[in-house]
Structure 1
Amino acid sequence: MSLPERFRDVAELEDALSQPSAALVDTLRRAPGDLMVLGVGGKMGPTLARMARRADPSRRVIGVARFSEPGLRDKLQAQGIECIEADLLSREALARLPEAPNIVFMAGRKFGSTGSEWLTWAMNAHVPALVAERFPRSRIVAFSTACVYPFVDVRGEGAPESVPPTAPSGEYANSCVARERLFEHFSHQYQTPGRLIRLSYAIDMRYGVLHDVAQKVLHREPIDLAMGYANVIWQGDANDWTLRSLAHCDTPTSPLNLSGPKISIRSVAQGLGRRLGVEPVLQGQEAPTAWLIDSSEAVRLFGPPSVGLETMLDWTADWVSRGGSSLGKPTHYEARDGKY
């Protein structure tokens, strides 16, 4: 796949984010049947659903959400995605959903968790239990997060899947451990095949770690270096790998780290500063630990990411310098206390 030098607008960006690889087209043949995306209305859901549809135009792709964003439902339906409005906290609403051999679970809550912890736990623990009970015979690829891991030494390669979730910081991270454990419980009970996708920071021009750092560089805001390292991956690759995971489900379900190589926040800020012609305002020093994951198992299954860091930096700097749109959803990658 040839990479563009820039994205002129949101339409061109979303087209790239939903472009399926030849490997995805081939892999999905090993996971036949309808595909349902639960929580399709989030940051990644629309382009993931569209990618699935483009990879196999004959396949029924169903997107389920509350569809609170104006125009999203119409846009997805125009792309061939069947949309169903439903509250996933409702057993009655779940009961009315059609059966689907393949499910990508993307529902969850992170931002706004502080002060509404009860809702965070309901979305991140109760909803997975309801879904796992409702669809015991489906393949379920469920989104999780790198935040289930403890901080690790920044000099290493990051936490592999063999590192157990251990006392992570904050209610959000703990609720994500609960999400995984409940999917695991019902996978053991019903022999439901699945994967728990421990994603670390997908990159879209409108949000993500690089977008956050670029905005701070551009507006000459201080960049805290305490959380000095992170893993990032182009959202198109994250979509592709997630969908390909449907053909690599385990019984019982198992975790799979999904991201790119470790990046330095200091180096990213300096690289964006050079591209933007602005000297970044760096503050503090890198802590010896960070939330980092080792995605070598995903690379073994799917190959290396198709988009490297330098290309993502070029795209990000170009996008923010032209005043490209933002989703207004900062990642809070710099938080070390787990409060979001």
Structure 2
Amino acid sequence: MTTISGIEAELTTPTPGLADELAALDGDIVVLGVGGKVGPTVAIMAQRAIDEAGLDKRVYGVARFSDPAARDALERYGVVPVAADLTLDEQLAALPDAPNVVYMAGKKFDTVGAEHLTWMMNSYLPGRVAQRYRDSRIVVFSTLVTYPLADAATGGSRESDPPGPIGEYAASCLGRERVFEHFSRENGTPVLLFRLGYSIETRYGVLQEIAQAVHDGVPIPLEMGHASVIWQRDVAAYALRSLRLASSPPRALNITGPEIVSIRRLAERFGERWGRPPVFEGAESRTAYVMDGSALQSEFGFPTTTLSEMVEVVARWVEEAGPTIGKPTKFQVRDGAF
């Protein structure tokens, strides 16, 4: 797992029982917005599980594919790449039909100054997709920032808590949920709102950013003193397993690990490994973007990768100067300006 091919193979390995669950679902799978950080893992894991079970199903991965390497990676595993711009109605209409859809399209970074584009991608486009796939079951990737900042000491936000988005990006993500909810109720489309926070692997994520800062002696701001994290392999598996939970009206599900992580303690763990005390700035606030994952664990059990295992593999990656994706999570942002 200290090479790109090694980490990608690990991330896309189907978790135990996934092949059987996909065998119980009828028909093909379409992953919309497959070109993002998590999308290839979802599509490739689905294809590997289908192959493992010997199923007669296809996985389609839809994106613009401005980077040909992303398309090639999907094809190597048997995923069918479909080049399309979802914002163009004729291209959306021409997409393959499938009873199972994982919706991952959206925009977060560089929202400030281009708010109109973020709202179009996150709130308008979902309505077009919901109409196009009105007869499918849809897992809709969402985010923990649809909730307000929560008290880490009380376990974080729960699915029953009211929304409280801060800033235009978060508001547009709540818009995505509401638009899918509307069309689910209108058309009877089964939908699952997949509220993720935060996906982790060696090349990006909260752990990688903290580890790199400790390794390089860069000060770590502490105001956002806690975070919710989960390994990307588990995220992909839960997304595929959640297809069977889709319902009308939609159900929301928090996708995160079983513990709320202290940024200070996480940095200290990396510092202890390397014999270099972390450098901190500021002090922890009582609140943070954190979620309670107990409903997820009740439904599917605990993630297959523990926090200690995440810390170990990320530390080794940083030690060996492994490449990064170069897209900071901006998990420290508290004012919603992404």
Q: How does the TM-score come out when normalised to structure 1?
A: 0.96
Tell me, which stretches of 5 or more residues in structure 2 are unaligned? none
Q: Decide which of 252, 256, 264 is 2:253's aligned counterpart.
A: 256
SS of 1:171 mapped into structure 2 = helix
> What is aligned with 2:102?
104
Range moving further from structure 2, 246-255 or 199-208: 246-255
> What is aligned with 2:179?
182
1:249 CA displacement = 1.3
> What is aligned with 2:215?
218
SS of 2:284 mapped into structure 1 = coil
Q: Decide which of 74, 88, 91 is 2:89's aligned counterpart.
A: 91
Q: In the aligned structure 2, how far is the partner of 1:265 from the partner of 1:198?
A: 21
Q: In the aligned structure 2, how far is the partner of 1:12 from the partner of 1:276?
A: 24
The 5 Å alignment of 1:261-272 reads: 261-272=259-270
1:30 CA displacement = 2.8
> What is aligned with 2:121?
123
1:132-162 Cα distance to aligned partner (Å, 9 max, x none): 0111000000100000001111211111100
The 5 Å alignment of 1:47-86 reads: 47-57=41-51, 58=55, 59-86=57-84
The 5 Å alignment of 1:183-332 reads: 183-260=180-257, 261-332=259-330
Q: Decide which of 170, 173, 177 is 1:173's aligned counterpart.
A: 170
Letter in 2 for 1:234: W
8 Å Cα contact 2:15-2:234 kept in structure 1: no
Q: In the aligned structure 1, how far is the partner of 2:203 from the partner of 2:98?
A: 31
1:33-54 Cα distance to aligned partner (Å, 9 max, x none): 1000000000001111010001
Q: In the aligned structure 1, how far is the partner of 2:299 from the partner of 2:26?
A: 19
> What is aligned with 1:18?
12
Over the matched positions of the two proteins, sequence identity in percent amounts to 48
Residue 30 of structure 1 pairs with residue 24 of structure 2:
yes
8 Å Cα contact 2:34-2:40 kept in structure 1: yes
Letter in 1 for 2:73: K
SS of 1:115 mapped into structure 2 = coil
Letter in 2 for 1:91: D
8 Å Cα contact 2:137-2:243 kept in structure 1: yes
Q: In the aligned structure 1, how far is the partner of 2:98 from the partner of 2:66?
A: 24
Tell me, which stretches of 5 or more residues in structure 1 are unaligned? 1-6
Q: In the aligned structure 1, how far is the partner of 2:84 from the partner of 2:246?
A: 26
Letter in 1 for 2:28: D
